[in-house]
Chain A
């Protein structure tokens, strides 16, 4: 039985090696956390990142605190969830969003409409009471939701207000952001107050909407007041004369606990109070989005002008955007290598956990054949949850960052490993299994020495499927701040820059191929000799 033990030992050894690696990483990660450090978050659009970068640079220059940046969190719910759970300490938020989306308060229209100062007063009071969070001084500009149309459409239909739009809505093509479609201060309110009924409605990423409007493929879109791209694409903003959109003053939203621990934050961020009007913000957004100046540079230059100093970051004379794709990849190699490492780590930890759960479960179900299909189908349902939704479900329990991403990838890895383990073990050559039993092997020996080795190639195939799925899905982890190769993909999508998207997408695809090849090699080594296909 020596080589039986050998085979088992190989499997067990492999599993332990992975777990050991995972533990080392987790411990290393945990011990490096929390040393007078604040985490600044942002939503996944340019202005939010830009403001967050300003906050970060200001904190770094005015205090002794270390700053960790967790930008690009996917939407209000995830960003606010992260703040609530303490995964981030502050992020730029808009008072109107706080009022309508987070507090669920009704927007009064017409003469009862609240002024910006009143809205600020309400959110300050309510956030302090309900969430122990503080709204610091607003930056001075309002970035409201607006409904815009192309100039050609505005002139053809003589559109001035959103009410005018509601009269011709059946004849126009609409594209709205996904969040906008669900918000009370968005399409929901527009339907209710104006009776707007878009017939031809597409959900679309913000940066793509502008491109589509510029190309004449859509007529109506939601925009932010301060978007630099409104100017570029010559859009006309329709008046919200019935007050669906409340005032949206941008301000740092900070955890109360963080502020009590580091009161210097309020002083530092206070320097930004009322320093930017709409046109100033629109100009900064244009630099970032249209000229593609790095947000670090835009933020640094602005802060330097603000305090009358020279910019800390030099504006590069020849910007990155003129580089060819390969030159760009080369210039980004440091970041990409780090992102590839993070990506691999997320996948590796998830797969190890997946194997540790799904493999024993598959063996267990073999003995419970009557309930096996039910259980496996139940696990299969997990596979049908859209990735971004599953990632979002994780946030209340696990916050943002690597933990929820690993948890989601783990859940996705279960089904292929479980299905293949069960099928491989149960379907192992019935003649070989019967003879092993008939000659006196115990059921444990039959499992270890016959079923498991015969199933090894099928189990490995399941693991390879799981690995390829994980490498692909992990690109979405960037939406919840876990980093990885999804980061350039998300940024590229927002900047509508194919080159940046590809700088994440191509390495991710190559990584999937490499991981599959690596596991293929492992499969050939684990495939018992004597089976068809082994060396």
Chain B
């Protein structure tokens, strides 16, 4: 699985300075191989969301190199890059004034697909995430439960046939029962569509369950990268050891 010769996402020695002097990333390197799921784990302020956002250029690195599918992210227009990468946030990020169908069809429409193809794809994706298309396609986000909204957000992130998805605490706002179901289902969707994933979470359990490898971050640096087993057998620092004992990062 670790095909290091052709990582789908790759960051090398990335620094991010925000204006105002905050040094959010201090020379971070990480990669996601094709088909792999990598979790970024750390406290809030550790830089994990910042690192995630350098891959779709919501954040521009001050220094270092970021590549997607082997190509530097700043080689082309950011919009085109972003349309090829799925993105899921913690909070409901659906456009509230658009129906479910329109939200899901967003990226395909941006890609200029013919309308019929957009419609077919929208129905497929709604079915995939467990929402009966006929019943949901014309509803508005406010008419859905939190879990249903997050399902629509998954459908929207995947509708444009993106092969790689960035997820920022995708299960964080869900109540515990739904969270567990969604994680299990997400594993299935991931297999079905063959996507690679970079995921931010503060929950080590989630990371252990879903990710092939876990990168532990603190103060803008990566302390250790490895599978859950590697981390627990040979923690690189006492912070990582502590983290494994607690199972969850304090926020």
Contact = CB atoms under 8 A, between A and B. Distances in A.
Interface string B128-160: 000000000000111000000000010011001
A532 B92 CA distance: 15
A434 interface: yes
A525 to B, nearest CB: 14
A186 interface: no
Interface string A434-449: 1111111110010001
Contact of A435 (B87, B109, B110): B87
A528 B91 CA distance: 21
A429 B96 CA distance: 9
Contact of B95 (A436, A438, A532): A436
B89 interface: yes
Contacts of A111: none
B93 A434 contact: yes
Nearest to B93: A435
A409 B79 CA distance: 43
Contact of A440 (B83, B92, B94): B83
A454 B97 contact: yes
A198 interface: no
Interface string A328-341: 00000000000000
B240 interface: no
Contacts of B37: none
A362 B249 CA distance: 43
Contact of A530 (B80, B91, B96, B109): B96
A531 interface: yes
Nearest to B83: A440
A396 to B, nearest CB: 47
A450 interface: yes
A482 to B, nearest CB: 41
Nearest to A453: B97
B87 A530 contact: no
Contact of A528 (B79, B89, B97, B107): B97
A375 interface: no
A190 B51 CA distance: 79
A436 B102 CA distance: 12
B110 A441 contact: yes
A439 B91 contact: no
Given A434-B58, A440-B107, A454 B96 contact: yes
Nearest to A442: B79
A530 B141 contact: yes
A324 interface: no
A438 B88 CA distance: 9
Interface residues of B, number: 31
B97 A438 contact: no
A431 interface: yes
A439 B98 contact: no
B98 A530 contact: yes
A531 B79 contact: no
B89 A434 contact: yes
A102 interface: no
Interface string B157-180: 100100000100000000000000
B58 A437 contact: yes
Contacts of B87: 435, 438-439
Contacts of A442: 79
A456 to B, nearest CB: 9
Nearest to B139: A530
Interface string A221-239: 0000000000000000000
B82 A440 contact: yes
Interface string B69-109: 00000000001111100010101111111110010001101
Nearest to B87: A438
Interface in B38-88: 56, 58, 79-83, 87
Contacts of A3: 102
B99 A438 contact: no
A432 interface: yes
B97 to A, nearest CB: 3
B101 to A, nearest CB: 11
A432 B94 contact: yes
Interface string A447-464: 001100110000000000
Contacts of B97: 453-454, 528-531
B107 A439 contact: yes
B58 A530 contact: no
Contacts of B82: 437-440
A435 B89 contact: yes
A33 interface: no
B142 A431 contact: no
A440 B58 contact: no
Interface centre among A439, A449, A528, A531 (most CB of B within 10 A): A439
A450 to B, nearest CB: 6
Interface string A46-82: 0000000000000000000000000000000000000
A95 B110 CA distance: 76
Interface in A448-503: 449-450, 453-454
A1 interface: yes
Contacts of B89: 431, 434-435
A532 B142 contact: yes
Interface string B175-203: 00000000000000000000000000000
Contacts of B83: 439-440
B55 to A, nearest CB: 10
A453 B92 CA distance: 18
Interface string A367-395: 00000000000000000000000000000
B79 A441 contact: yes
Contacts of B93: 431-432, 434-435
A532 B83 CA distance: 29
Given A429-B96, A441-B79, 8 more contacts: A435-B87, A435-B93, A435-B95, A439-B107, A440-B79, A440-B107, A441-B110, A531-B96
* 10 A-B pairs closest in CB distance: A440-B83, A528-B97, A530-B140, A435-B93, A438-B87, A440-B82, A431-B93, A530-B97, A440-B79, A431-B91
7 contacts: A432-B93, A432-B96, A435-B93, A438-B56, A440-B83, A441-B110, A528-B97
